[in-house]
Amino acid sequence: QSVLTQPPSVSGAPGQRVTISCTGSSSNFGAGSDVHWYQQLPGTAPKLLIYGNNNRPSGVPDRFSGSKSGTSASLAISGLQAEDEADYYCQSYDNTLSAWVFGGGTKLTVL
């Protein structure tokens, strides 16, 4: 059971916009810890998608955006494409655990 809670799955049709939530607590997001997001395509290593709440590394399309407010964060994907089908993980730091933590992951299905 992760301290960062994500929905197990989300889905959307090509071209649509989907959001993936990541719910934390006062010991991580609420304590000021940033959120970062990773995309893991089937059978591959995770890849950085968003860092520092809302920053995209070079090469990541601007269809991907992140936000954080209070004890929650979210990843938005607009103009959904078939190649976006993957697992998505949020990551932060937890003061209580004194450890960097990941959410349980969300599987995105493009219908």
Partner 1 sequence: EVQLVETGGGLIQPGGSLRLSCAASGFTVSSSYMSWVRQAPGKALEWVSVIYSGGRTYYADSVKGRFTISRDNSKNTLYLQMNSLRAEDTAVYYCARDLGCTSTTCRNKWFDPWGQGTLVTVSS
Write out the residues near partner 1 by the rule CB under 8 A: 2, 33-34, 36, 38, 44-48, 51-52, 57, 89, 91, 93, 97, 99-105
Q: What is the Cα–Cα distance from 30 to 3, expressed in whole angstroms?
A: 12
Q: Which is nearer to partner 1, 33 or 110 (CB)?
A: 33
Give min distance, CB of 110 to partner 1, in A. Answer: 21
Total Cβ atoms within 10 A of residue 30: 13
Nearer to partner 1, 80 or 108 (CB): 108
| Minimum distance from residue 11 beta carbon to partner 1 (Å) | 19
Between residues 7 and 46, which has the closer beta carbon with respect to partner 1?
46
Nearer to partner 1, 15 or 57 (CB): 57
How far apart are the C-alpha atoms of 98 and 19, rounded to whole Å? 28
Shortest CB 95 distance to partner 1, Å = 8
For residues 1 and 16, is the Cβ–Cβ distance under 8 A?
A: no
CA atoms within 13 A on the CB side of 36: 14
Query: How far is residue 20's CA from residue 109's CA, in Å, rounded to a whole number?
Result: 12
